[in-house]
């Protein structure tokens, strides 16, 4: 797999692990029915996928991710929860190992904004959807995030993180482009909602993420930051996490649509 996931799995996976279908797929669950065959694209640690599997049981759920460690976590989680109708495999969303028109529903949370060639990945998701099938996309919209109280560390984090992410083909406001992209592809019954994910303000995921070797090297190669500066920003974020009035509300844009019958 040549694509580099700049967020790294050791810290990012923890942030994702608290996610559930009840919350992160609340906009999508009402459309699901027992017996549906469903695909979860970029399933990460699988915490949303297992909830989707419960919703469509005895239908089959296939979760895939480009990260091997995520597939191991997902498989382990399904086993722990006694979920027998979910299978996980490593795959790249730009080249799906699934037949045309083979799924009743395709879901994806927070993946496309990380994929260079995201429009090709979206085409693949539509290709494997049956006529009349349902797609549900949940994409980040950084412009809508409510994070504070404002300080230098947060501002530096957002600026540096965004440049590094973009240099790896990321798109931090992708959520807002989902609806037009689905309409361009002649999808019907297109509906958009938005929700906020309230993160634990004492969590230090980003403080840890920006001082991993992988992130420091990426920022240094781009000439936008140094190890020293990143450690300073990280310390500022740790300080911020102790502020009793710190808050972090992450904005997500959710879209559902159907492939024409
Ligand atoms: C932010 S995580 C979201 C995980 C999960 N869907 C969630 O919402 O908790 C993004 C995931 O997309 C995966 N990913 C990134 N590029 C991918 C690609 N080209 N094909 C498949 N998965 C990819 C990453 O490995 C990562 O697990």
Tell how far the Cα of 65 is from the centroid of ligand 1, in angstroms.
6
Residues paired with 65 in a beta bridge:
90
pLDDT of residue 18: 79
Q: How many residues does the chain have?
A: 261
- Atom 1, ligand 1: which residue's CA is nearest? 110
Mutate to test the pocket of ligand 1, among 107, 111, 161 (most ligand atoms within 8 A of CB): 111
Query: What are the boundaries of each domain within the chain?
Result: 9-258
Mutate to test the pocket of ligand 1, among 42, 77, 124 (most ligand atoms within 8 A of CB): 42
Q: What angle do CA 218, 249, 64 make, to 5 degrees?
A: 60
**Beta carbons within 8 Å of 223's beta carbon, 6+ residues apart:** none
pTM: 0.92
Cα(254)–Cα(28) distance, integer angstroms: 9
**What CATH architecture applies to the domain 9-258?**
3-Layer(aba) Sandwich (3.40)
**Which ligand 1 atom sits closest to the C-alpha of 17?**
9
108 phi and psi, to 5 degrees?
-155, 130
pLDDT of residue 1: 36
CA distances from 164 to 14, 136, 246, 258 (A): 20, 28, 25, 34
pLDDT of residue 138: 98
Pocket lined around ligand 1, Cβ cut-off 6 Å: 3, 5, 16, 19, 42-44, 48, 65-67, 70, 92-94, 109-111, 114-115
Q: Is the distance from CB of 18 to CB of 46 less than 8 angstroms?
A: no
Return per-residue pLDDT of the chain as tens, 261 residues.
345 565 666 555 566 677 899 999 999 999 999 999 999 999 999 999 999 999 999 999 999 999 999 999 999 999 999 999 999 999 999 999 999 999 999 999 999 999 999 999 999 999 999 999 999 999 999 999 999 999 999 999 999 999 999 999 999 999 999 999 999 999 999 999 999 999 999 999 999 999 999 999 999 999 999 999 999 999 999 999 999 999 999 999 999 999 999
Q: Is the distance from CB of 57 to CB of 81 less than 8 angstroms?
A: no
Tell how far the Cα of 244 is from the centroid of ligand 1, in angstroms.
32
pLDDT of residue 205: 92
pLDDT of residue 15: 64
């Amino acid at each position: 797999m040549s694509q580099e996931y700049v967020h790294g799995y050791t810290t990012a996976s923890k942030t994702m692990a608290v996610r559930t279908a009840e919350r992160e797929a609340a906009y999508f669950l009402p459309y699901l029915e027992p017996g549906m065959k469903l695909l979860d694209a970029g399933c990460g640690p699988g915490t949303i996928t297992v909830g989707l599997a419960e919703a469509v049981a005895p239908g089959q759920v296939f979760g895939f991710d480009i990260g091997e460690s995520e597939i191991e976590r997902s498989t382990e989680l399904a086993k722990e929860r006694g979920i027998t109708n979910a299978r996980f495999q490593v795959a790249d969303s730009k080249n799906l190992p699934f037949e045309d028109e083979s799924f009743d529903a395709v879901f994806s949370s927070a993946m496309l904004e990380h994929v260079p060639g995201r429009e090709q990945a979206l085409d693949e998701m539509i290709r494997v959807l049956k006529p009349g099938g349902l797609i549900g996309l949940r994409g980040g919209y950084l412009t809508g995030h409510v994070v504070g109280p404002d300080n230098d560390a947060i501002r530096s984090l957002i600026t540096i993180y965004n440049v590094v992410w973009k240099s790896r083909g990321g798109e931090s406001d992708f959520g807002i482009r989902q609806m037009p992209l689905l309409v361009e592809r002649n999808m019907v019954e297109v509906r958009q909602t938005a929700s906020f994910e309230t993160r634990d303000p004492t969590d230090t995921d980003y403080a840890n993420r920006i001082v991993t070797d992988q992130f420091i090297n990426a920022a240094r190669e781009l000439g936008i930051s140094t190890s020293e500066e990143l450690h300073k920003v990280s310390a500022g974020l740790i300080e911020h996490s102790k502020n009793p009035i710190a808050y972090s509300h992450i904005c997500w844009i959710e879209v559902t649509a159907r492939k024409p019958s």
